[in-house]
Amino acid sequence: MPEKPRVERTPGEPRGGYSLLSASMPADDLRALAERWIAGDPDPSTRDELRGLLARSTRSEAALADLRDRFVGPLAFGTAGLRGVLGAGPNRMNRAVVARASWALARVLLETVPGAAERGVLVGGDARRMSRELTEDVAAILAAAGLHVVLFDGPVPTPLVGFMVKRLGAAAGVVVTASHNPPEYNGYKVYWADAVQIVPPVDAAITVAIERAPAARDVERPPLDALRAARRIVDAPADAEGAYLKAIQALAVHPREGDRALRIVYTPLHGVGDRLARRALADAGFVDVYSVPEQQEPDGAFPTVAFPNPEEPGAIDLALHHAHARKADLILANDPDADRLAVAAIVPGDPRIAFRQFSGNQVGVLLGHYLMTECGPSSASKGRAVLATIVSSPLLGRIAADLGVYYEETLTGFKWIASRAVALENEGYEFLFGFEEALGYCVGSAVRDKDGISAAVLAAELAAVLRARGSTLEAQLDAIGHRWGVSLSAQVNVTRAGATGPAEIAALMDRLRTRPPSQLASDPVVSVADYATGLVRAGLPKSNVLAFHLASGARVVARPSGTEPKAKVYFDVSEAVAPGESLQAAKERAFRAIEALKSAVALELGASGGSSLA
């Protein structure tokens, strides 16, 4: 196992001439800070952008506020790396920020991962604006630092990079992607030597190393051609895609069974998933797959969607249009880097609605239930294990407990699911499935991350098998509800705008922690799990999350957003179907219960949001 990085600061080491900006810094000092950044920026386009903003800041309060925001602090390592709006300055995504992050990543790898130089780093990127330039910068800087680099020559899905980190036993992987964010964003995602997204203390060690990094212009970046000629950078193996597709097919529960004549409409939402997703579906026997033509080719401008996240309202409208026209049975949609999956299916016999889009919780429950009930016996000494996050539907846990499958909840974010899956395998379990409510699913251990392509193939298989048995995804959800109870999930957001927003959200969480409600909507709070104490479960990292468990069995979870001045509140209720009761009556009772809980929170905190059946 690689040594865990130590997080320490060395006095006197260079920091590139930049420092954190205080909210009260005088404008002249702010402009001087910006001039130092410009002097160290190797990219002429962002240098010019910042010079223009500097000039406008002398006569425009809006421009001065924009400048201040760009220097409020460095873009922080968050979910597995960096993510932010493209633009000039340390609080934006640009070549200078990526150069210093890559310099830091190289130092941490070489200092802490045994054999890192020879094991090397996989580097790839999606098709967003600046992805190509940033990917090449990453590869050149890592190679110049002494690391062997394997570079994907062209846009690739994120799961393919994660798969190849594991297959090649690399020291790390870097993917330039902002996943499902709007077009003005890009990001920098890091896998570590276990092929899992970085978790503490690795992220903190890289952050400290960034603070020691020189100015970006002083980070060595030799020409890519010279590095290729010296074999310090090599192309990804020619069989990478074939090996990935073979691994996906090995995940099938009932290979070639079911009605594979299923008519499917697929969309990559202008991302990079189309070619591999359709190949994976074809390999599984699904030959009637139609790709939405307006969204088939990669386009970082995402011209047909306001927000390229298949979870967002309207994102799959074009797919729905083509599905209607083609009389399709199933819609599958990946996000732009193909690590998320949305599923919609035709609703036969209902004149009010032709297709139903399932929530992330519903798809997670459907896939998890299918794997737990249809897979053969496990050869693992402790049997199988499934995972979900603490804000995903607990229904999967109830099913697992009834079926004798080990179940655990992790913190929010797939890095926690994947890292826990590795630990469970080391303990003697077979990791079967993990999911988070935000359309993320991991089937088996081929990819140590969410993978929208393998999930799409499994979802198509499930729909085909059910159709051959005279059933549907909708009917399967109802059957699960009859046996394990009707589950309903919802989310509301509490937003505090302006400069005081983050402090107000912090105060809100403190108030919930120190003065928790005794009841919500007349439902008594019987226990509170405070994940910040580290006492909820051994080995679970501390996190600013509160979970309120109610007498009815309902659960309310509150946590602050990691990127916005917003608190997210998640609700889960379950209603058993009483003997002689209709499923619809139980659904209506669950809906009333969750709406009452949402109203109680909205009244106390000020919130808005929607709900979805699971």
Q: CA 289 to CA 329: how far, in whole Å?
A: 10
Q: CA 435 to CA 341: how far, in whole Å?
A: 11
Q: CA 180 to CA 272: how far, in whole Å?
A: 12
Q: CA 450 to CA 412: how far, in whole Å?
A: 13
Burial (0-12, 13-18, 19+ Cβ within 10 Å), 24? exposed
Non-local CB neighbours of 242 within 8 Å, separated by 6+ positions: none
> Coil, strand, or helix at residue 308?
coil
- How far lies 234's CA from each of 54, 104, 148, 528, in Å? 41, 22, 8, 53
Tokens of 60: 């425009």
- Could you tell me which of 313, 357, 361 has the C-alpha nearest to residue 488? 361
Q: Which residues of 323-349 are buried (b: 16+ CB within 10 A; e: fewer)?
A: beeeebbbbbbbbbbbbbbbbbbbeee
| Helices and strands of the chain, counted as H and E runs | 19, 22
- Return phi, psi of residue 523, to 5°: -105, 110
Q: Give the chain's end-to-end CA distance (angstroms, integer).
A: 39
- What is the biggest distance separating any 2 CA atoms in the chain, rounded to whole angstroms? 75
Strands 289-291 and 264-267: parallel
Q: Which residues of 437-451 are buried (b: 16+ CB within 10 A; e: fewer)?
A: bbbbbbbbbbbbbbb
> Could you tell me if 452 and 472 are in contact, meaning their C-beta atoms sit under 8 angstroms apart?
no
CB half-sphere exposure, 492, CA atoms < 13 A: 19
Tokens of 554: 């309902």
Q: Which of 179, 392, 393, 489 is catalytic?
A: 179
> Could you tell me if 454 and 378 are in contact, meaning their C-beta atoms sit under 8 angstroms apart?
no
Q: What's the distance, CA 207 to chain centroid?
A: 20
179 is catalytic: yes
Helix (H) or strand (E) holding 36: helix 27-40
Q: CA 313 to CA 6: how far, in whole Å?
A: 43
Q: CA 83 to CA 5: how far, in whole Å?
A: 22
> Could you tell me if 235 and 451 are in contact, meaning their C-beta atoms sit under 8 angstroms apart?
no
Burial (0-12, 13-18, 19+ Cβ within 10 Å), 58? exposed
Tokens of 155: 């846009």
Radius of gyration of the chain measured on its C-alpha atoms? 25
- Could you tell me which of 443, 474, 467, 471 has the C-alpha nearest to residue 280? 443
Helix (H) or strand (E) holding 170: none
Catalytic residues: 179
